[in-house]
Amino acid sequence: MLRRINWKAIAKGFAWAVCLSGVVVLLSFIGVKKQELKCTNVKILIPGVDNFIEREEIDAILKQSQGELVGRKLANINIHEIEKTIQANPYIAFAKVYADMDGVIQIQIKQRQPVLRIINAGGQNYYIDREGLKMPLSPNFTANVLVATGNILEGFGGRVDTLITPLLADLYKTALFMKQDSLWDAQFEQIYVNHKKDMELIPRVGKQRIILGNADSLITKMDNLLAFYKQAMPEVGWNAYKTINIKYVNQIVCEKNRIDSAAVKRPVLQSDSATVAKQLVASAVKNIIEEEIKKESEKVAAKETKAGSIVRDPSLYRSPNKSAPEKTKAGAATKEKTDTKKSNK
């Protein structure tokens, strides 16, 4: 009968019971200690380079809502209430508050991250953050993000709020797309909404406007623009075109600048950047695009070596000043001269 008893299982169960009892006793001890433990310090951690809110402001929020924390028993401090109060600030996305065994209250804060600044038709300023929520400007810090101006009617009531109009949703989607691509993030500094409600991208390199239309098929449109930059810009120069229209996904329509014309007039942009900084950014963008062109050329050369030749389709790009019929006539004239020479021989 004794042989049938599983002593190993009994021993294991007993060990678990002892461990569980020990944990309960330890937690009870910690609980009792915390009841008597006083707050010795308050540490506030605000990671990131953006400084929408300073430590002094958090201290002021804590004093206003909780009073002086240092010296008070932890049992009399409502940690959850502190979290709720801090997260009510429009610049804060998340707050975590806890007390350690040394009596230090730790406050970890995550700030909102703007991706777009709106200056609407009435002159009102506000941000849209990465989550697609409106947030106010800060007196402490100006975010280096795209600026959207022009025919934008949607306003901001002062509190964190969702987007209402499809136009603002398109602006947010476009800004988020640009932020995720290092080339476009460096190249574009402003989005202008024209009278047709089309979005126009204002670049740092080049004096043309990129007519984007809406935020549909963004990947295809921007891929077309990059291909145009690689193939056309090295030939004609960065200031050859007044507008580059990429709103239609199957073609690019360009309007050329007039010869010796003045620089294209741009929408007024409120900017804190210095001229030297802009020139450095422009140089960086050109370097990125030139590197892309170099890589593309190497790929083409490799394909030509392997396959013999590559036929490029020029129909994607169309300019009013260089129409296809003109090229066809020129080609026909060349062919006619060749045929005449052959017949004379």
Chain mean pLDDT for the chain:
77
CA-wise closest residue to 254 among 314, 300, 307: 314
User: pLDDT digit string (tens) for 184-208?
Assistant: 998 899 999 999 999 999 998 888 8
Comparing 2-11, 50-59, 127-136, the range with the smallest average pLDDT is: 2-11
Residues 217, 272 share a domain: yes
Kind plus residue range of the DSSP H or E element containing 107: strand 104-111
For position 321, what pLDDT does the model report? Answer: 42
Same domain, residue pair 178 and 199: yes
* 211 and 146 part of one domain: yes
CA dihedral angle for residue 287, residue 293, residue 296, residue 298, rounded to 10 degrees: -80
Residue that has been written with the tokens 């944990």 in this structure: 23
- For residue 45, what are the β-bridge partners? 108
Better-predicted residue by pLDDT, 193 or 235:
193
pLDDT reported for residue 274 = 42
Pair 84, 121 in one domain: no
Domain boundary among 273, 292, 311: 292
Residue 75 per-residue DSSP state: G
Judged by DSSP in three states, 67 sits in: coil
Determine the pLDDT at residue 16.
74
Q: If 0-12 CB within 10 Å is exposed, 13-18 middle and 19+ buried, where does residue 8 land? A: exposed
**Is 103 within 8 Å of 40 (Cβ atoms)?**
yes
How much is the pLDDT for 290? 66
The total number of structural domains in the chain stands at 2
C-alpha to C-alpha distances, 208 to 32, 85, 214, 239, 241, nearest whole angstrom: 70, 48, 18, 7, 6
What is the pLDDT at residue 193?
Answer: 95
Q: Per-residue pLDDT tens for 48-66?
A: 777 888 888 888 888 888 8
Residue 250 lies inside a defined structural domain of this protein: yes
Does residue 275 fall inside a structural domain? yes
Tokens of 198: 């089309």
Calculate Rg over the CA atoms of the chain.
Answer: 32
Residue 77 shares a structural domain with residue 165:
no
For residue 183, give its domain range. Answer: 114-292
- Whether residue 267 is predicted with pLDDT greater than 80 in this model: the reply is no
Within this chain, do residues 81 and 138 fall inside the same structural domain, yes or no?
A: no
DSSP 66: H
Residue 123 lies in a domain: yes
User: By three-state DSSP, how is residue 45 classified?
Assistant: strand
Tokens of 169: 């949703």
Please, are residues 108 and 118 in contact by the beta-carbon 8 Å criterion? no
pLDDT at 204: 87
Looking at per-residue pLDDT, the higher value among 16 and 284 belongs to 16
Q: Are residues 45 and 145 in the same domain?
A: no
Among candidate residues 80, 111, 142, the one where a domain is terminated? 111
CATH of the domain at 80: 3.10.20.310
Local confidence band at 106 (pLDDT 50, 70, 90 cut-offs): very high
Q: Is residue 15 part of a domain?
A: no
**Residue 125: inside a domain, yes or no?**
yes
The confidence score (pLDDT) of residue 330 equals 39
Of 9-18, 236-245, 300-309, the poorest mean pLDDT is in 300-309
pTM of the shown model: 0.66
Whether residue 276 is contained in a domain is answered as yes
Are residue 125 and residue 252 in the same domain, yes or no? yes
Q: How far is CA 257 from CA 132, 211, 227, 320, in A?
A: 37, 15, 21, 11
pLDDT of residue 27: 59
Q: Is residue 17 part of a domain?
A: no
Same domain, 137 and 221: yes
